[in-house]
Amino acid sequence: MQTFHLVIDGAQVAGQAGDFAVLNPATGAAFARCPAGSLEQLDDAVSAARAAFASWRLSSASTRRSCLQLAADDLQREAEEIARLIVQEQGKPMALAMSEVMGAVAWMRYNAELKIPVELIEETPQQRIELHRKPLGVVASITPWNWPLMIAVWHIIPALRAGNCVVSKPSSLTPLSTLRLVQILDRHLPPGVINIVTGEKGFGSAITTHPGIDKIVFTGSTPTGQSVMRGAASNLKRLTLELGGNDAAIVLPGTPLESVVDDIFDAAFLNMGQTCAALKRLYVHESQYAAFTAALAARAAREVLGDGLQPGVTFGPVQNMEQLELVHELVEDARQRGASVLCGGARLAREGYFYPPTIVADVTDGHRLVDEEQFGPVLPVIAYHDIEEVLARANRSSMGLGGSVWGTDLEQAQSLASRLESGVAWVNCHAQIQPNTPFGGSKMSGFGMEFGVEGLLEFTGQQLLFVRKTESA
């Protein structure tokens, strides 16, 4: 098995609490061991970051840009090796893992080149007023298991570009690709600027209440996000929270099935449905309902399930047993309420955590599968009669990450999309994100922005510079 180390103050060190197994979801068996850090090592990482911040905060934009671009070069050079690691710890097919790595490279390069603006508020002969942005200090990144490398990049790179120092804490289910990312970054950064501590339990509360941490950026479930928020109150840590989503999509009457069914399927089953902004509820007009559900079931049948390292595999396992059991529970609940499971609907009788892409018809609001976030390879399809009625149903969720409207009448689709209660609204697409487009949720899906200049500025504090000019002698 490969050997992995924590990174603290520029040194690769063993975990003081030993190590723990990392399972391959395609087999359910351990394929590597990860160092288990101690709470004392978390303190060491925070102290190292605080010490490094004194000089890193004063580094030039060109210095930061150069460090991050060099790290992106290394990540790109080692892309295939890291992609294989992602397949083994997360389960996604190799092609998707390569897309994750190369997407991370692109995100790193884009953020490296971003500029932090200085806003001129007023300029008169008597005074000049400017709004400046300054780094916050030590940023803690807490990342989930679904996109372990990409989301770590989303957290870490803008924090570094803004002049902060970072302590990373990845999911214990998928820690290895993030360890590799931090090791690559550490090659090009002063000691202590980037640190990582991995472990199975106990770190979440320690990070949220740690007095040496100035900001937390967290991606994960809403209940855990609420816990982070409570802990962060101890020293008024700044927060960016990207939490759960139950994204609705509305297909307008008359939409040509053949032009959208593949895109809708891909938006729902991206990463085996394990994506926060994936399409989670599909509302189809009753006039096309039967045709759409049949077409989606036919599309699901084309997927090839298996170990993501095997040639030809297009659909991997659910990442962990707990999530697999939740998916099974939600489908069974719908079945008992009279739903029709058109394809899939049962765990495969093989090793690993495999659950085939599943289309469920004859469900409605009030069913757990519709009201809760399944975060797995299942799509409930709900019939509707009236546009205003379906908009109200789509907005009834307590979550508001993303939503979409599909149809040929762009004016109608855009008008309806603008009324969705979601942080992002898409027309004729879903879960489309770019490094230059701000992304964030509303309602119980969190707050704060990621990506673009808006996302970069989340890692800064404001300082107003007010200069009263003196008369020349």
Residues catalogued as catalytic:
242, 276
Indicate the residue type of 340. Answer: S
Residues 6+ apart with CB under 8 A from 155: 139, 141, 143, 166, 168, 217, 219
Q: How far apart are the first and last CA of the chain?
A: 74
d(CA 63, CA 57): 11
* Burial call 456-469: b when 16+ CB within 10 Å, e when fewer: bbbbbeeeeeeeee
Query: 345 is written with which tokens?
Result: 């609907």
Residues 6+ apart with CB under 8 A from 356: 300, 303, 305, 315, 343, 344, 345, 346, 348, 377
Question: How are beta strands 127-135 and 460-468 bridged, if at all?
Answer: antiparallel
What count of Cα atoms within 13 Å lies in the side-chain half-sphere of residue 282? 30
d(CA 415, CA 114): 32
Q: Are the C-beta atoms of 41 and 168 separated by less than 8 Å? A: no
Phi, psi angles (nearest 5°) of residue 22: -110, 125
Nearest to 66 by CA among 108, 12, 107: 108
